[in-house]
Structure 1
Amino acid sequence: MSYYRPLVQCSPDRPADAVTLAGGWCWFSQVAVHTRDAKPRIATASDLPRAIFENLARPRPEIAGMGMDAPRIMGILNVTPDSFSDGGLFDDPAAALAHAQAMQAAGTDIIDIGGESTRPGAADVSVSEEINRTAPVIAAIRAQSDVAISIDTRKAPVAQAAIAAGAGLVNDVAALGYDPTLAVVTAQAGLPVCLMHAQGDPATMQQNPKYDDVLLDVYDFLAARIAAAEAAGIAREQIVVDPGIGFGKTLAHNLTLLRGLSLFHSLGCPILLGASRKRFIGTIGGAEAAAGRMPGSVAVALHGVRQGVQILRVHDTFETRQAIELEMAINGTMTQ
């Protein structure tokens, strides 16, 4: 089997035969063709199989009211006592609402609300506790704003309560594999879903993760989960994919996925990149405390922008927005 990774460019100096990537701000004229038994080879866009070409070139429809023709910022709001970076900062509803308002002022496009930590080694949270943490905060935000909201959960009852409170996207780190009824809830609500790759569960995922080929293994996993979501009644146009940086990956795995990010455009879905303040950033950048990893997080986010990633899930919303605005201005493509 062959896998096709567009060699993405964002420069305004594009050749006549360049193909606009996913209807967005980047383009390509060549692809790297990957297989499991040989080194990648370079081919031209005109050599692509028709189905792959269409997946790469087709403009992505709106997700939760957000156009996918420019990078969108997903601001992280963990209403938990134990998340790896901001645990305990926003578990008070008033603090959570204030932070949501601050993120909106900083240009956040969607707020991702989670009530269960998925950091390495984290324990499960009961359904009732997760609902109690998330649904009231979603309702409070929705009462004051029409900003897009996503619910970060693996559990159908939590998603149901969040949707009733005003959430418009389901963000599942288990790619609908932890609670099969979550796919049904999402389909019945007619909402988009983000399918993330993870190897193992949060309690065990960093215990010696291994892959045959991490880039291609993650691609195959996401392709299979897209098929499962479609079988449950969720349209492909409503699916976002996330390679799951830091979820059952070593530092080397994370770097390989970041280098190969553009491969996931071949799935025909928007890509979400969630690398903000992850441990590998601190390891490489010399920041032991998660709160000190903002500069490295912005660097990774800008790499995602240059690879055509449509949604960036970040803690540092103002800094990331400012960096993106500069990046796009330099390349002659202003965000919308």
Structure 2
Amino acid sequence: MAVYTHLSNAQISAYLAPFNLGALVDFKGISGGIENTNYFVTTKVTGQPQQDFVLTLFEDLSYDDIPYFVDLTDHLVANDITVPAALRDKNGTALNLLAGKPAVLFPRFAGDHLARSEIGVSECAIMGKELARLHLAGQKFATTRHSHRGQAWWSELGPRAAKCIDGEGATMLMMAIGQYEAMQSQQPDLPKGVVHGDLFHDNALFNQGQLSATIDLYNASNDYLLFDVAITVNDWCIAADGSIEPDLYNAFLEAYASIRTFNEAEHRYWNAMLVAAAMRFWLSRLETFHGLDAHHREEGVTVLKDPDVFRDILSHRMQQFQLLPSLP
């Protein structure tokens, strides 16, 4: 279970006290996370129903990093995007320290993420529209942030990761990094704005067939919107072997384009973005799997996701050229 910071009843109760949410009834560490520690927390005010929250402790991001995400989620909620926005205590403060870590309390939304077998055309269409709506709303957000796992990160990490894998994989990895750098040198006319950066199917909650919330925005930054679309397609619209599943792919992209139209440059560089998105997540999994990052966590606690999943996805994207829906 990915709970890196273990908390007691007394610690959580003390943290909750300024929020006036009643007495702590129960708390439970959430399994499956990789970068942060998360707890489900239940409270009760006498004479009222129980309330459920999510308490997040940030293990990698610094205290000074967090206000960006607090402000961003406030902005998105104000623009009718359903994301968890931080709760504020009686002093109007959202960000506090708990066990020496930056900590934020969020409402808990109904629903759960879909199993891969539950992802169909309808779900992909819902997510395509929602990502486009998030992108449009994000373009009105004034604060900017560079990704902590952007081009500078992968340019530095790539050669180190390549030494940990077989020669064929190393060649493919470095080729993908080189292709992105070549694209950048052409200064493509690709729209930029706020991106989610990690909108995998386990970062969307569905309840009775409808999207109830988009969660985990801690990879949000300013980047190419097309890169965010590629990240999402590479998770939501694939078959078991990592290849594109045409019905899901078309449903997602057509729904997205119905809200935000792709420009000519986005059509031209689409496959390059699919390659870059696959490379980025293969590299982040290699970093954790081979212990190439600077974070030392308790053995057996860190969730290690199989890097080969994204090796296969990258291989397919480099071999099978994909197109966006036709321009009108």
TM exceeding 0.5: no
TM-score, with structure 1 as normaliser: 0.26
TM-score, with structure 2 as normaliser: 0.26
